[in-house]
Amino acid sequence: MTAPRLRRVRVLVLGSGAREHALAVALAADDDVSDVLVAPGGPGVADVAEVVAVDPLDGAAVAALAREREMDLVVVGPEAPLVAGVADAVRAAGVDCFGPSAAAARLEGSKAFAKEVMASAGVPTAMARVCTDLGQVAAALDAFGAPHVVKDDGLAAGKGVVVTGDREEALAHARSCLEGRPGAGASAVVVEEFLDGPEVSLFVLCDGTDVVPLAPAQDSKRLLDGDEGPNTGGMGAYSPLPWAPPGLVDEVVERVARPVVAEMARRGTPFAGVLYCGLALTSRGVRVVEFNARFGDPETQVVLPRLRTPLGGVLRAAATGRLAELEPLTWSDGAAVVVVLAAAGYPASPRTGDAVTGLAAAAAVPGARVLHAGTATGADGTLVSAGGRVLSLVGTGATLADARAAAAAAVAEVGLDGGQHRGDIAVGAAEGVRA
Ligand code: AMP
Ligand code: GLY
């Protein structure tokens, strides 16, 4: 008699962006995963998952859904539910959850807290001062000199940071952050030293004790080609990084991820989930630019297609304190490039409701995949834009040049009035130039 097959895993993904679409694609491709649900999702993710209309910020509703639909694992995509304690609510309902507690998600939710943890753990980062009035800001700007870096202390969806050579602009940003939340006693800005050198995003899976790094990627945060224009949530990314120094990943694990995980455990708020290490490779060594408590968007769209190890088991191991038992991850030698198609007016005031066309032709490009972010079904049943970043066009191939070509061919097929995208994602790396 053969043993009964173990029940296959049912996974609920929270979020509605292209990152969550990429997670759902990878989970659906895992033979040990039987069902993928996404809440709230959108029209695009229905190709691989069941879309459920539940508010991901409502911990009680998410926990009830997970219980009712007999989920084995909940994967939290964005930061807002983490900071709101949704992972705590899911775990309290007896369901495994990939994503840190609200207490541990403060590593992303408060830049001042992240700096304090890094100082305690001896992690290399930019020198910084936490300021609660404009006099302190002015003194800090003068102490560090130009270029100036001013950050809103709280969550700002990638738009709370201004990097500028203009002292007046730096002061104006600080003023708007400090005045933005009148009466909110914790209102603060962080002024810090400018870090030169290329940026790297490294996702490190954590289970409270152990850590497992994924492959590094590079995100392009500025709106326009040549790294011009305003900061955005991310306009494109690629992986691997042929120019990265050998040993970079091990160095970040030893000098950044392990000390932070140990410090968080020591404080009684263990970090389990993904620690997104935003790094600058400066002339004086690796420095942490920021931590996030979740996968990066759009970097996830290029890291997951290269991961050969089935994703469900990996996330479950992190969620249940069993990373030490995981076999070493395996990766494809190939490359992936993502180009983000953003709406007219993004990032300041994205226009919504524009027709989005050509997706079948884009998806038919060899090596290309269309992932949805800000899309919705319009009144007449056709697809319309519904957010700042509308689509992620992912290209994969043997080399970065092949992957770039596939992503470019896909984006060329899409119609979106006023749509904005970068044409230079991974161009230097594909040509063998340092980032
Ligand atoms: P953050 O939200 O902290 O990741 O900042 C967003 C972006 O601003 C980063 O990805 C960098 O491109 C830039 N940035 C942040 N901090 C610094 C810094 N200290 N020096 C130079 N650039 C920075
Ligand atoms: N791509 C930057 C982020 O996810 O924060």
Residues with CB under 6 A from ligand 1: 126, 149, 151, 158, 161, 163, 192, 194-195, 199, 221, 231, 278, 289-290
Please name the residue whose Cα sits nearest to atom 5 of ligand 2: 296
Ligand 1 midpoint to CA 231 (Å): 9
pLDDT at 432 over 90: no
Name the pLDDT band for 185 (thresholds 50, 70, 90).
very low
Contacts of 2 (CB under 8 A, 6+ apart): none
Give backbone dihedrals phi and psi of 380, rounded to 5 degrees, phi first: -90, 15
Ligand 2 midpoint to CA 231 (Å): 11
Give the pLDDT confidence score for residue 5 in this predicted structure: 56
pLDDT at 123 over 50: yes
For range 227-238, the mean pLDDT: 94
Pick from 159, 290, 294 the residue to mutate for probing ligand 1's pocket: most ligand atoms within 8 Å of its CB: 290
What distance in Å separates the CA atoms of residue 202 and residue 184, rounded to the nearest whole number?
Answer: 33
Ligand 2 midpoint to CA 237 (Å): 10
pTM for the whole structure? 0.94
Nearest listed ligand to the Cα of residue 233:
2
pLDDT at 182 over 80: no
pLDDT at 1 over 60: no
* Residue for token pair 């001013």: 150
* DSSP states along 280-307: EEETTEEEEEEEESS--TTTHHHHGGGB
Give the pLDDT confidence score for residue 315 in this predicted structure: 98
Ligand 1 midpoint to CA 249 (Å): 20
Residue type (1 letter), 289: V
pLDDT tens across 384-430, in order?
Answer: 999 999 999 999 999 999 999 999 999 999 999 999 999 999 999 99
Among candidates 110, 108, 56, 52, which has minimal Cα distance to 86?
56
Q: What residue ranges define each of the domains in the chain, with the CATH number in brackets? A: 9-98 (3.40.50.20), 129-192 (3.30.1490.20), 199-325 (3.30.470.20), 335-430 (3.90.600.10)
Residue type (1 letter), 305: P
Give the pLDDT confidence score for residue 161 in this predicted structure: 85
Ligand 1 midpoint to CA 390 (Å): 23
pLDDT at 155 over 70: no
pLDDT tens across 334-356, in order?
Answer: 999 999 999 999 999 999 999 99
Give the pLDDT confidence score for residue 188 in this predicted structure: 86
What distance in Å separates the CA atoms of residue 359 and residue 351, rounded to the nearest whole number?
Answer: 20
* DSSP states along 351-396: ----BEE-HHHHHTSTTEEEEESSEEE-TTS-EEE-SSEEEEEEEE
Give the pLDDT confidence score for residue 143 in this predicted structure: 94
Give the pLDDT confidence score for residue 156 in this predicted structure: 62
Among candidates 268, 278, 245, 23, which has minimal Cα distance to 125?
278
pLDDT, the chain, mean = 94
Give the pLDDT confidence score for residue 160 in this predicted structure: 79
Nearest listed ligand to the Cα of residue 199:
1
Name the pLDDT band for 157 (thresholds 50, 70, 90).
low
pLDDT tens across 238-255, in order?
Answer: 999 999 999 999 999 999
pLDDT tens across 266-292, in order?
Answer: 999 999 999 999 999 999 999 999 999
Ligand 2 atom, smallest distance to 290 CA: 5
Residue that wins the pLDDT comparison between 181 and 326? 326
pLDDT tens across 36-87, in order?
Answer: 999 999 999 999 999 999 999 999 999 999 999 999 999 999 999 999 999 9
pLDDT at 200 over 50: yes
For range 6-34, the mean pLDDT: 95
Ligand 2 midpoint to CA 305 (Å): 17
Residue that wins the pLDDT comparison between 432 and 220? 220
* Percent over 90 (pLDDT), the chain: 89
Name the pLDDT band for 3 (thresholds 50, 70, 90).
low
Q: Are 19 and 158 in contact (CB under 8 A)?
A: no
pLDDT at 184 over 60: no
Pick from 299, 300, 339, 389 the residue to mutate for probing ligand 2's pocket: most ligand atoms within 8 Å of its CB: 299
